[in-house]
């Protein structure tokens, strides 16, 4: 670890990237230098900002003498590097170079952490360098430090979050206006919530990167994005949203990490939540993370999950915290190590998860259909929590109206908690039944703890 700085010598900060977040961080470090120095208890100085194009227009005009294209030289000169370039390379090589030299790093780069988090934590542990990444999950929301520090004397059993604002905006639009997925996506792009290529958001990859980080910190294990089961929201239809609403549910893309006696399951998928669940009320592009710990019980963290200015708040929180540590001298870095309990927590396949399914299917309009469906569930050890047959069946549960004959009878089942493998086998068997015309939608359900 870097030796403690004397109070006379400013702590040299190097910034890699000056885009949406980086430009705001540069502004805070230049315009707010006196305030940040007083929060640290020692002078700090932004010594350089590495970018690709020094002439490019920026949200805040960075003094020309700070801009450079030589990121490596900046890494070698600084006491603290703030990495806000994004992507895997060259960010990964630069961050590793800094850490191996014992230089502290603050980053918001979830994509990098989700594939190289274990290696980078290891490099930091070996050199004693500090590595912080609060902004990588939930933007402005302080969620990683509470997990790493405030709850370090407790045992976290589950973390469940809306960690991608783009998909939450799209699902919220579909829920509140009845819009189809692609119309809601176009609106999100028009408002700047979704990128021109929205794949990383809508297919769940961004949320999966954050699930890997949350799982690694919550369960002290070096998980990466390959340990996360991932389904996005592009197949969620307006009919799914409408049917969910009719049953008192809302559909959210959740990142869920949970631990059982055998290991941990990390997953991202569209999920039905009862409208009374705390996460159901998270609207628009906001984020929220729900944490369950043995002694603390349930906690929820809510706020802006993206945006240059909100995210710069989390970056600056890490910068001040790290700068204080560098100023006060060596101490066990501890809090970012994800490898210490790795012997005891391994990633399990999603088949091992225990969850509830919502199954919406169209069935034949003849007697005995419901009994046949119920038998398939029972054969797979899956019991039914509730069953709805919207507008097409008699009170004894059998299809009997002319309307049902014309459009087929819809049956919506919510199962009790069961093993994912049994639930997915149930759906496969149902699909193969003669009496089942189609399985329209299968979604997992999370109920209040
Ligand atoms: P951005 O707007 O795309 O900015 C990237 C910056 O990095 C640009 O200034 C770019 O230089 C510079 N850069 C990229 N490649 C470079 C290279 N090879 N050499 C030198 N400079 C290079 O990104 P952002 O939105 O600020 O996000 C930065 C990081 O924060 C990402 O990891 C992102 O995931 C994370 N984050 C962002 C948000 C958010 O709301 N935006 C929220 C949470 C976390 P030029 O300007 O010259 O092109």
Say if residues 74 and 47 touch (Cβ distance below 8 Å).
Answer: yes
CA 88 to centroid of ligand 1, rounded, Å: 11
Say if residues 446 and 254 touch (Cβ distance below 8 Å).
Answer: yes
The fourth-level CATH superfamily of domain 353-445 is ACT domain (3.30.70.260)
* CA dihedral for 335, 339, 342, 346, sign (positive or negative): positive
Say if residues 316 and 310 touch (Cβ distance below 8 Å).
Answer: no
Tell me which residue has its CA closest to atom 31 in ligand 1. 86
What residues contact residue 269 under an 8 Å CB cut-off, 6+ apart? 204, 229, 230, 231, 253, 254, 443, 444
- Which positions are annotated as active-site residues? 210
Q: Is the pLDDT of residue 4 over 50?
A: yes
**Ligand 1 binding pocket mutation candidate from 70, 86, 91, 108 (most atoms within 8 A of CB):** 86
What residues contact residue 407 under an 8 Å CB cut-off, 6+ apart? 392
Helix spans in 18-65 (H):
20-31, 33-40
Query: What pLDDT does residue 395 have?
Result: 42
Was 86 annotated as part of a binding site? no
In whole angstroms, how large is the CA radius of gyration of the chain? 25
Confidence at 391, pLDDT banded by 50, 70, 90: low
What residues contact residue 17 under an 8 Å CB cut-off, 6+ apart? 49, 50, 51, 83, 84, 85, 86
Query: Which one, of 73, 32, 29, lies nearest residue 50 by Cα?
Result: 73
d(CA 75, CA 91): 11
d(CA 387, CA 413): 4
Q: Does ligand 1 lie within 6 Å of residue 138's CB atom?
A: no
132 has which bridge partners? 106
Which of these CATH numbers, 3.30.360.10, 3.40.50.300, 3.40.720.10, 3.40.630.30, describes 148-304? Answer: 3.30.360.10
d(CA 9, CA 7): 6
Query: What pLDDT does residue 365 have?
Result: 84
Helices and strands (H, E) in the chain, number of each type: 15, 17
Confidence at 331, pLDDT banded by 50, 70, 90: low
| Fold annotation for 11-140+308-328 | Rossmann fold (3.40.50)
Return mean pLDDT, the chain. Answer: 92
Say if residues 135 and 318 touch (Cβ distance below 8 Å).
Answer: yes
Was 178 annotated as part of a binding site? no
d(CA 31, CA 4): 25
Tell me which residue has its CA closest to atom 19 in ligand 1. 52
CA 21 to centroid of ligand 1, rounded, Å: 7
Tell me which residue has its CA closest to atom 2 in ligand 1. 19
- 347-351's contacts with Cβ under 8 Å and 24+ in sequence apart are 347/215, 347/221, 347/223, 347/227, 347/263, 347/264, 347/265, 347/266, 348/260, 348/262, 348/263, 348/264, 348/265, 349/229, 349/265, 350/229, 350/265, 350/267, 350/420, 351/419, 351/420, 351/421, 351/424
Supply 16's token pair. 């890699």
Q: Does ligand 1 lie within 6 Å of residue 113's CB atom?
A: no
Average of pLDDT values for 337-351?
73
pLDDT tens digits, residue range 47-56? 999 999 999 9
Query: Which one, of 343, 321, 408, 248, lies nearest residue 80 by Cα?
Result: 321
Average of pLDDT values for 311-331?
92
Q: Does ligand 1 lie within 6 Å of residue 84's CB atom?
A: yes
pLDDT tens digits, residue range 117-174? 999 999 999 999 999 999 999 999 999 999 999 999 999 999 999 999 999 999 999 9
Q: How far is CA 97 from CA 77, 93, 111, 127, 337, in A?
A: 12, 6, 18, 11, 18
Query: What pLDDT does residue 416 have?
Result: 97
pTM of structure: 0.93
**Ligand 1 binding pocket mutation candidate from 15, 18, 19 (most atoms within 8 A of CB):** 19
| Domain ranges across the chain | 11-140+308-328, 148-304, 353-445
Q: Is the pLDDT of residue 63 over 90?
A: yes
Q: Is the pLDDT of residue 258 over 90?
A: yes
pLDDT tens digits, residue range 80-123? 999 999 999 999 999 999 999 999 999 999 999 999 999 999 99
Tell me which residue has its CA closest to atom 48 in ligand 1. 52
Say if residues 429 and 380 touch (Cβ distance below 8 Å).
Answer: yes
Highest mean pLDDT among 190-194, 288-292, 388-392: 288-292
Say if residues 78 and 14 touch (Cβ distance below 8 Å).
Answer: yes
Confidence at 448, pLDDT banded by 50, 70, 90: confident
Was 374 annotated as part of a binding site? no
Query: What pLDDT does residue 366 have?
Result: 86
């Amino acid at each position: 670890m870097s030796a403690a700085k004397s109070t006379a010598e400013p702590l040299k900060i190097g910034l890699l990237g000056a885009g949406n977040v980086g430009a705001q961080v540069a502004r805070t470090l230049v315009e707010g230098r006196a305030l940040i120095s007083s929060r640290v208890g020692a002078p700090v100085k932004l010594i350089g900002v590495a970018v690709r194009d020094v002439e490019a227009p920026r949200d805040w005009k960075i003094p020309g003498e700070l801009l450079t294209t030589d990121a490596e030289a900046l890494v070698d000169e600084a006491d603290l590097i703030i990495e806000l370039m994004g992507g895997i390379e060259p960010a990964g090589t630069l961050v590793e170079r800094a850490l191996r030299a014992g230089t502290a790093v603050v980053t918001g780069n979830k994509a990098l952490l989700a594939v190289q988090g274990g290696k980078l934590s290891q490099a930091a542990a070996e050199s004693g360098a500090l590595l912080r990444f609060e902004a990588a999950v939930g933007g402005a929301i302080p969620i990683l430090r509470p997990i790493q520090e405030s709850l370090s004397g407790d045992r976290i059993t589950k973390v469940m979050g809306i960690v991608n604002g783009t998909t939450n905006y799209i699902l919220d639009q579909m829920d509140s206006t009845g819009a189809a997925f692609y119309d809601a996506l176009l609106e999100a792009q028009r408002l700047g919530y979704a990128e021109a290529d929205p794949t990383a958001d809508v297919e769940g990859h961004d949320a999966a990167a954050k699930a890997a980080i949350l799982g690694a910190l919550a369960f002290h294990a070096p998980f990466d994005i390959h340990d996360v089961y991932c389904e996005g929201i592009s197949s969620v239809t307006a009919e799914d949203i409408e049917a969910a609403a009719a049953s008192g549910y809302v559909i959210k893309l959740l990142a869920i990490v949970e631990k059982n006696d055998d290991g941990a399951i990390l997953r991202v998928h569209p999920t039905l939540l009862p409208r009374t669940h705390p996460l159901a009320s998270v609207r628009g592009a906001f984020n929220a993370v729900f944490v369950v710990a043995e002694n603390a019980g349930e906690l929820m963290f809510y706020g802006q999950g993206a945006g240059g200015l909100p995210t710069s708040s989390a970056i600056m929180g890490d910068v001040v915290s790290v700068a204080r540590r560098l100023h006060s001298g060596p101490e066990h870095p501890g809090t970012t190590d994800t490898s210490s309990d790795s012997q005891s927590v391994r990633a399990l396949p999603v088949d091992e998860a225990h969850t509830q399914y919502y199954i919406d299917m169209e069935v034949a309009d003849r007697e005995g259909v419901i009994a046949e469906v119920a038998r398939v569930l029972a054969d797979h050890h899956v019991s039914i929590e509730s069953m709805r047959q919207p507008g097409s069946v008699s009170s004894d549960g059998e299809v009997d109206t002319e309307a049902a004959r014309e459009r087929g009878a819809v049956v919506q089942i919510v199962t009790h908690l069961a093993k994912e493998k049994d639930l997915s086998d149930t759906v496969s068997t149902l699909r193969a039944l003669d009496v089942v015309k189609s399985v329209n939608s299968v979604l997992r359900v999370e109920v209040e703890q």
